């Protein structure tokens, strides 16, 4: 399998690297400390075409492939995973789902501004009692003929307050179980829609994560995505692609931690020599590099599967499972290599370690990935 990047892919990777160094790095520590949303940076990412990367230019997107998308995700995540999760949710969970399953009217009204970065979107599946067990939706969308009435609460929603467009998964017909679930497009200013409190998080603190409350929100039927009862499959199909984006985020966090550690190990001296000359440190770097190379190949493979129209449920889940473990292992070792300096904020690695953890939780925990993988391999 040939993983040589095309000239265009290399240029996109370089543009993302430069943007991350020049525009995400300054202020990243302060945004993390103050839980400050990177509003200016998001605007710039829209201008650079990072918010609708795979969307057809006809709908305001960049018309690129999934491999280009994971390259950008990796570069952004090396520096600022709070910004990259905004990119991931907007691209994978919002734009992709709308472009693939939305009506022409929905694409014109919602996808265009989302893909061009004029507004950002949120994907609302999780609930207080429906995280991993996603079919147990308590939020209801009661069918009233030409509209739905939405009631309930969603939890841990990325872009919760900063989004303008929300895709909300809700139960219309309880009797039908997951076949009675719908995906509805909600606008921020619809009456009865309230943004709940902001979460105070361990990592990705620059991204805004909120609960959302719906009290008798009236949603026109034309805002339903797909046929009646398609909502759960919509969520699963969308998340299968989302997992590739999060795998790329995890890869970026790991690679960022590794690059900082390698540089530090060649500069920092102990016992009369650079610490990289001590095998205890050199072997850590060797282990980090090996795990990261494997993660990168898995992420590229999953992205390529999506690009060539192959099934990517399994390869995406494998990539996410491995890359998120790599992010965790690598960032912990990065703190260890940095010693006392690793434990303070100025050296960035403690933030990468805190940011790494969420990649094992959101868009399906590592345990959920193992369900998807085991079902995938045992089916045949
Ligand atoms: N594509 C298409 N259909 C799929 C599918 C897929 N990838 N996966 C499942 N389905 C379908 C099944 O075929 C089934 O339909 P049929 O009955 O017609 O065959 C239906 O969905 C139900 O599937 P299961 O019986 O497998 O359902 P389950 O209850 O056993 O759960 C699960 C499956 C994989 C565990 C699923 O619940 C799951 O993925 N849970 C995790 C949810 C998750 O990832 N949440 C993340 C929240 S979003 C987020 O984090 C975003 C953010 O802000 C960053």
In a domain? residue 368: yes
Give the distance (Å) from ligand 1 centre to CA of residue 230. 12
- pLDDT for the residue numbered 60: 95
Give the distance (Å) from ligand 1 centre to CA of residue 225. 17
Digit-coded pLDDT (tens) for 168-202: 999 999 999 999 999 999 999 999 999 999 999 99
Which residue's CA is the closest to the ligand 1 atom numbered 40? 132
Handedness of CA 362, 54, 105, 101 (dihedral sign): negative
Task: Count how many Cα atoms sit within 13 Å of the Cα of residue 124 in the half-sphere of its side chain.
Answer: 37
Token pair listed for 69: 């998308």
C-beta separation of 114 from 101 below 8 A: no
Q: What percent of the chain has pLDDT over 70?
A: 100
Give the distance (Å) from ligand 1 centre to CA of residue 177. 13
The catalytic residue among 127, 293, 363, 367 is 363
In a domain? residue 2: no
- Verify that 329 and 199 share a domain, yes or no: no
Which residue's CA is the closest to the ligand 1 atom numbered 1? 237
Which residue's CA is the closest to the ligand 1 atom numbered 12? 233
In a domain? residue 202: yes
- pLDDT for the residue numbered 2: 81
Nearest to 236 by CA among 160, 316, 157, 307: 316
Which residue's CA is the closest to the ligand 1 atom numbered 27? 135
Which residue's CA is the closest to the ligand 1 atom numbered 29? 135
In a domain? residue 1: no
- Decide if 18 is catalytic: no
- pLDDT for the residue numbered 1: 76
Q: Tell which atom from ligand 1 comes closest to the C-alpha of 157.
A: 53
Domain range for 296 is 236-378
Give the distance (Å) from ligand 1 centre to CA of residue 368. 9
Give the distance (Å) from ligand 1 centre to CA of residue 236. 4
Token pair listed for 346: 């100025």
| Cα–Cα distance measured from residue 25 to residue 46, given in angstroms and rounded to the nearest whole number | 18
In a domain? residue 157: yes
C-beta separation of 24 from 87 below 8 A: no
Which CATH number covers residue 112?
1.10.540.10
Helices assigned H by DSSP within 268-312: 279-307
Which residue's CA is the closest to the ligand 1 atom numbered 26? 372
- Verify that 221 and 247 share a domain, yes or no: no
**Which of 203, 232, 261 represents a domain boundary (last residue)?**
232
Determine the longest span between alpha carbons in the chain, in angstroms.
78
Confidence of residue 131 (pLDDT cuts 50, 70, 90): confident
Instruction: Write out residues with Cβ below 6 Å of ligand 1.
Output: 89, 93, 123, 125-126, 132, 134-135, 158, 178, 232-233, 236-237, 239-240, 313, 362-364, 368, 371-372
In a domain? residue 311: yes
Digit-coded pLDDT (tens) for 326-351: 999 999 999 999 999 999 999 999 99
- pLDDT for the residue numbered 239: 98
Confidence of residue 3 (pLDDT cuts 50, 70, 90): confident
- pLDDT for the residue numbered 21: 98
Which CATH number covers residue 302?
1.20.140.10
- Verify that 13 and 116 share a domain, yes or no: yes
- pLDDT for the residue numbered 379: 86
Which CATH number covers residue 148?
2.40.110.10
Number of domains in the chain: 3
- pLDDT of 134 strictly over 90: no
What element of type H or E holds 217?
strand 209-220
- Verify that 288 and 319 share a domain, yes or no: yes
In a domain? residue 145: yes
Q: Tell which atom from ligand 1 comes closest to the C-alpha of 375.
A: 26
Digit-coded pLDDT (tens) for 298-309: 999 999 999 999
Confidence of residue 135 (pLDDT cuts 50, 70, 90): confident
Digit-coded pLDDT (tens) for 66-100: 999 999 999 999 999 999 999 999 999 999 999 99
- Mutational pocket test of ligand 1: of 83, 134, 204, the residue with most ligand atoms within 8 Å of the beta carbon: 134
- pLDDT of 380 strictly over 80: no
Digit-coded pLDDT (tens) for 250-292: 999 999 999 999 999 999 999 999 999 999 999 999 999 999 9
Average pLDDT, the chain: 97
In a domain? residue 325: yes
Q: How many residues does the chain have?
A: 380
- Verify that 147 and 223 share a domain, yes or no: yes
Token pair listed for 111: 């996808």
C-beta separation of 198 from 245 below 8 A: no
- Verify that 221 and 289 share a domain, yes or no: no
- pLDDT for the residue numbered 237: 97
């Amino acid at each position: 399998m040939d993983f040589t990047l095309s000239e265009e892919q290399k240029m996109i990777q370089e543009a993302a690297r430069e943007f991350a160094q020049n525009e995400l790095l300054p202020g990243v520590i302060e945004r993390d400390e103050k839980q400050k949303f990177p509003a200016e940076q998001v605007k710039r990412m829209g201008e650079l075409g990072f918010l609708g990367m795979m969307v057809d230019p006809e709908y305001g997107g960049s018309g690129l492939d999934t491999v280009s998308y994971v390259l950008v995700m990796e570069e952004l995540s090396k520096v600022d995973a709070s910004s990259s999760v905004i990119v991931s949710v907007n691209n994978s969970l919002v734009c992709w789902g709308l472009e693939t399953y939305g009506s022409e009217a929905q694409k014109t009204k919602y996808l265009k501004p989302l893909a061009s970065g004029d507004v950002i979107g949120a994907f609302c599946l999780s609930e207080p009692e429906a995280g991993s067990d996603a079919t147990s939706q308590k939020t209801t969308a009661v069918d009233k003929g030409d509209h739905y009435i939405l009631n309930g609460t969603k939890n841990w929603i990325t872009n919760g307050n900063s989004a303008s467009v929300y895709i909300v998964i809700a139960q219309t017909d309880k009797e039908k179980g997951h076949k009675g679930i719908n995906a509805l497009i909600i606008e921020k200013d619809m009456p009865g829609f309230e943004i709940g409190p902001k979460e105070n998080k361990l990592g990705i603190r620059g991204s805004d994560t909120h609960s959302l409350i719906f009290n008798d929100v009236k949603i026109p039927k034309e805002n339903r995505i797909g046929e009646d009862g398609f909502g759960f499959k919509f969520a699963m199909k969308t998340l299968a692609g989302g997992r590739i984006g999060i795998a790329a985020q995890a890869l970026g966090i790991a690679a960022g931690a590794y690059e900082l550690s390698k540089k530090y190990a060649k500069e920092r001296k102990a016992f009369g020599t650079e610490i990289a000359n001590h095998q205890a440190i050199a072997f850590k770097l060797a282990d980090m590099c090996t795990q990261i190379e494997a993660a990168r190949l898995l992420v590229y493979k999953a992205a390529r599967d999506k690009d060539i129209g192959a099934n990517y449920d399994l390869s995406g889940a494998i990539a996410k499972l491995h890359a998120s473990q790599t992010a965790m292992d690598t960032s912990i070792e990065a703190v260890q290599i940095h010693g006392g300096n690793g434990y303070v904020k100025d050296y960035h690695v403690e933030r990468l370690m805190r940011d790494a953890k969420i990649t094992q939780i959101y868009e399906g925990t590592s345990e959920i990935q193992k369900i998807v993988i085991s079902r995938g391999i045992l089916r045949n």
